[in-house]
Amino acid sequence: MNARPDLAVRVDNLERRFGDFVAVDRVSFEVATGEIFGFLGPNGAGKSTTIRMLTGLLSPTGGSGWVGGFDIRTQGESIKEIIGYMSQKFSLYEDLTVGQNLDFYGGIYRIPKEKKAARKTWALEMAGLLGREQSLARELAGGWRQRLALGAAILHEPRILFLDEPTSGVDPISRRNFWDLIRSLSRRGVTVFVTTHYMDEAEYCDRLALIYRGRMIALGTSDQLKRERMPDAVLEVAVDRPVDALDILPGVPGVREAALFGALLHVVVSDAATGAPAVRTALEAAGMTVERIEKIPPSLEDVFVSLIEAEDRTETPTAARGC
């Protein structure tokens, strides 16, 4: 059991306890160099704790891990030199300009003087900030702030990038632009380890891990998870009063879950052949007009919620869900 150079990240039975509370519970996975690895899970599931261990900010209470070939227990300082880290609450200096913020981080990373200018230009370009050097950080809208934080995190050309909910609260266009940046970094061989609550973003990842209550409950490509980890069928239902339908559907036999997707409903049923007519009958009996019921491939959100609820059912029934 040792570091493997072709792996950017490897963890083996990684564990972190805080007193009696097990925040990360014997998690094992590997991330290949250049991969975009999505780390998903509800708030409080252990995602940030895992990232803090991988970035050398927090030591594990059990298991082992390597980042870029370095041991997270003993070689934290070496790890910090080869990684970039953008946390949920990144700090920018509000009264400094974009350029000054980057200069400041250049100092922190101890980038040699002769390389400073070139690195800064590179970071500005990679983060899509060219032309914004003179803007004050506090005048930047959400999407631009995020780019500046990314620029600061990549100044030292890290091989591995940890992004903890980088697009939280960012509008749809900025989110897309941000993912274009992630993609181009990945193409240059940078490994990207990213957490997100946006399931459309999760689809852009090469592989996904789903973590819940500290344990990893799924690992694979988006297609694999949809194919192999969703035993129930998903019906897309177009109905005239979708919100009212949400009240009725949980009582229909065979229905496991019902949720709104835009103006449509996704209804998870154990069997599509019997579920679809049962759903139609129940909604029509309540005086609704059902336009269409169609079995569809599950969305990643369907799979995500279904895996978590299956996990809840296997746990002690008295345990309340944490969020």
Partner 1 sequence: MTTGDLEPAKPAIETRDLTRRFGPVTAVDRLSLTIPRGELFGLVGPDGGGKTTTLRMLAGILGPTEGDALVAGHSIRTAPEAVKHRIAYMSQRFGLYGDLTVLENLLFYADLFEVPRRERAVRIERLLGFSNLTPFKDRLADKLSGGMKQKLGLACALIHTPEILLLDEPTNGVDPVSRRDFWRILYDMLKEGVTILVTTAYLDEAERCNRVGLMHRGRLLALDAPRRVKSLMAGDLVEILVTEAWRAREVLAGVVEAKGVTLFGRRLHVAVEDIARDLPAVQAALETAGLDPREARRIAPSLEDVFISVVEREGSAAHERAA
Q: Which positions touch partner 1 (CB under 8 A)?
A: 41-44, 88, 141-143, 165, 168-176, 183, 197-200, 202-204, 222, 242-243, 246, 259-263, 300-301, 304-305, 308-309, 320-323
Q: From residue 314, give the alpha-carbon distance in Å to each of 130, 317, 319.
A: 52, 8, 10
CB of 214 within 8 A of CB of 22? yes
Cβ at position 297, least distance to partner 1 in Å: 10
Distance CA 267, CA 249 (A): 8
Cβ at position 270, least distance to partner 1 in Å: 20
Q: Which is nearer to partner 1, 156 or 175 (CB)?
A: 175
Question: Which of these, 233, 252, 254, lies nearest to 290 by C-alpha position?
Answer: 252
Cβ at position 99, least distance to partner 1 in Å: 20
Q: Which is nearer to partner 1, 99 or 142 (CB)?
A: 142
Task: Please give the full DSSP string across 11-80, using - where no structure is assigned.
Answer: EEEEEEEETTEEEEEEEEEEEETT-EEEEE--TTSSHHHHHHHHTTSS--SEEEEEETTEETTT-HHHHH
Q: Which is nearer to partner 1, 14 or 305 (CB)?
A: 305
Q: Which is nearer to partner 1, 64 or 167 (CB)?
A: 167
Cβ at position 44, least distance to partner 1 in Å: 3
Q: Which is nearer to partner 1, 112 or 317 (CB)?
A: 317
Q: Which is nearer to partner 1, 82 or 238 (CB)?
A: 238
Distance CA 205, CA 194 (A): 9
Cβ at position 192, least distance to partner 1 in Å: 14
Cβ at position 243, least distance to partner 1 in Å: 5
Q: Which is nearer to partner 1, 259 or 290 (CB)?
A: 259
Q: From residue 277, give the alpha-carbon distance in Å to each of 3, 236, 309.
A: 55, 13, 24
Cβ at position 322, least distance to partner 1 in Å: 6
C-alpha angle with apex 225: 222 to 227, nearest 5 degrees?
Answer: 105
Residue whose structure tokens are 């995500």: 304
Q: From residue 44, give the alpha-carbon distance in Å to each of 50, 143, 218, 237.
A: 11, 25, 17, 32
Residue 158, classified by CB atoms within 10 Å of its CB into exposed (0-12), middle (13-18) or buried (19+), is buried
